[in-house]
Amino acid sequence: MNSPINVNDIKNTIDYEIDYFICCASFEERCLVIPKKIAECKVKNVIIFSNKDFIEFNNGNENEIVSYFSEGKAKILYLNTKYPAPNALVIMTCFDGIDDLKNKKFIVDTTTFTHESLLVLFKVITLKAIPVSNVLYSYANAADYSANEKDYDKKWLSKGIGEIRNVIGYSGFMNPLKKNHLIVLVGIELERTKSLIDRLEPNSLSLGVSNDFCSKSPSGTDLNRKKHKELCEKYLGAESFEFTVIDPKPVKEKLREIASMHKDSNIIIAAMNNKISTIGAGSYANENPEVQISYATALQYNIIGYTIPGVECFFFHS
């Protein structure tokens, strides 16, 4: 099982030259944690994604990341969370012009990508046939969630739900003659999860809760179980299961196990926990292209207090 390391040990952990470091700037200060330490390693090129529709809330974090690296090493590529198709094109073309792609060493900081953009990036890396051993993923944990809300029961990361859409590259194959089974990797965004389930109206439902936690924050640990319990009470016929959030491989195997129990149904996955488990969902769907991954956009984020950065991070292969 994957173990966390202190962010100050990153330089000692990455003892080789990184051809491309890929990350995403965000309104979260967590977006700075791993890039700042990766800059102390040997890095040739840096690709920074940034969501243009949130640029006014990012506090210049994309330029802050650029400043960590030698002049000319880093470039910023802009996405827009409202337009998934153009985003996919930007992500796909970021690999254009890279010679000998399959022999390059990549580190991808998953921390503050949206789940949707991260899944598209993961799909592109898979389609480019870059060896799994050549792509190391990272994730910086959080010390606390919804830090600006002291009332435990009122903590929130997002409110409202906009569009529900299939993630590009993960549309699956929905047989109209079959029933639909939805598997949710539950996080702590209760309202967003309820809205997704209600709109998709699956015939059957599996609700997963984490059995371990990246964050040492009591709010993260307790909230996940609390939200999962509330969902189980609302959707009484739902199956419950546990999954890890610190290693994508067991997540993939857990999804395989659940899907095999519903082999006569169309399988839809909603990855709503952390980015490590999201990579696990993407890995399973890549191996099972008939599976669909759905994504629900949020209308409002808790920009002021979304998270407080922790001191530990994870590195993992898919």
Residue appearing with tokens 């808790």: 302
* C-alpha Rg value of the chain to the nearest Å: 19
Task: Give the pLDDT mean for 279-299.
Answer: 97
pLDDT at residue number 149: 86
pTM for the full predicted model: 0.96
pLDDT at residue number 216: 54
- pLDDT-based confidence at 211, cuts 50/70/90? confident
Q: Residue 49 forms beta bridges with which residues?
A: 24, 77
d(CA 295, CA 167): 6
Question: Which has more pLDDT, 282 or 152?
Answer: 282
pLDDT at residue number 213: 64
Q: Which amino acid is at 155?
A: K
pLDDT value at 246 more than 70: yes
Strand 292-301 relative to strand 265-271, pairing: parallel
> pLDDT tens across 45-55, in order?
999 999 999 99
User: Mapping DSSP to helix (H, G, I), strand (E, B) and coil, where does residue 245 land?
Assistant: coil
User: Mapping DSSP to helix (H, G, I), strand (E, B) and coil, where does residue 153 land?
Assistant: helix
Task: Give the pLDDT mean for 3-12.
Answer: 95
> pLDDT tens across 118-176, in order?
999 999 999 999 999 999 999 999 988 888 888 877 888 888 889 999 999 999 999 99
- pLDDT-based confidence at 201, cuts 50/70/90? very high
Residue 70 token pair: 């030698």
Which ranges of 30-169 does DSSP label H, i.e. alpha helix? 30-38, 61-67, 84-93, 115-127
Residue appearing with tokens 């791993």: 34
Question: How many CA atoms, within 13 angstroms, populate the side-chain half-sphere of residue 242?
Answer: 7
> pLDDT tens across 12-47, in order?
999 999 999 999 999 999 999 999 999 999 999 999
Asked if residue 140 lies in contact with residue 310, where contact means CB atoms within 8 angstroms, the answer is: yes
